[in-house]
Amino acid sequence: MPHQHFMLHKPYGYLSQFVGESKKKKRLGDLFPFPEGSMAIGRLDEASEGLLLLTTNGKVSTLITSSKLEKEYYAQVDGLITPEAVAQLQQGVEIGLRNEKYQTKPCWAYIPEIIPDFGERSRKIRDERHGPTSWVSITLTEGKNRQIRKMTAAVGFPTLRLVRVRIGAFHLGNLPVGEVLDITNQMEEMLQLHF
């Protein structure tokens, strides 16, 4: 049976997995009847949203996660982020990983003029009376645990909402929250070109 590949707009509050111990947690299989053997390529934590790729081919998952494909995120942060903070993000910042410090690699970051319409999140971010928020776009080629959240906190602007919008050539675009797109043909073409 040929392998299949999918793109999902993962909603807030879902784990990037199909099985687990807790019966109370929402998982990918609750969103769509993915074929048997499907797995997420990389992860988005439960509180993060946006582009998640899935495949029935474990070799594809390994190839994509081990390669240095760019991953672009939009982070809504607490406060009005400054150009100085963005410059720090671009140069790399020190974050904590387990019990050690880690210096992030230089990355591309900027304050976007136009924010995509991500729609309302199922859980409200917070009330406006608690102060302003702003958005920053960050593009990485690495992917440490909760890296974006730790990076924005390190420069004084904790992340309130995190949306992944791109992995390599795959863009979230206008895919509605919770919707799935079959990208089998596009993925196979990309694999032939790059791997």
Give 103-120 pLDDT, tens digit per residue: 999 999 999 999 888 888
At 58 the three-state DSSP class reads helix
Q: Which of 30, 45, 78, 117 is catalytic?
A: 45
Read off the pTM.
Answer: 0.93
Fold of the domain built from segment(s) 5-67+169-194: Alpha-Beta Plaits (3.30.70)
Q: Is 45 among the residues known to form the active site?
A: yes
- pLDDT score recorded for residue 124: 79
The backbone region for 60, taken as left when phi is positive above 0, alpha when psi lies in -120 to 50, beta otherwise, is: alpha
Residues 168, 127: Cα–Cα separation, whole Å: 35
Residue 15 has pLDDT above 90, yes or no: yes
161, pLDDT greater than 90:
yes
CATH superfamily of 71-167: Alpha-L RNA-binding motif (3.30.70.1560)
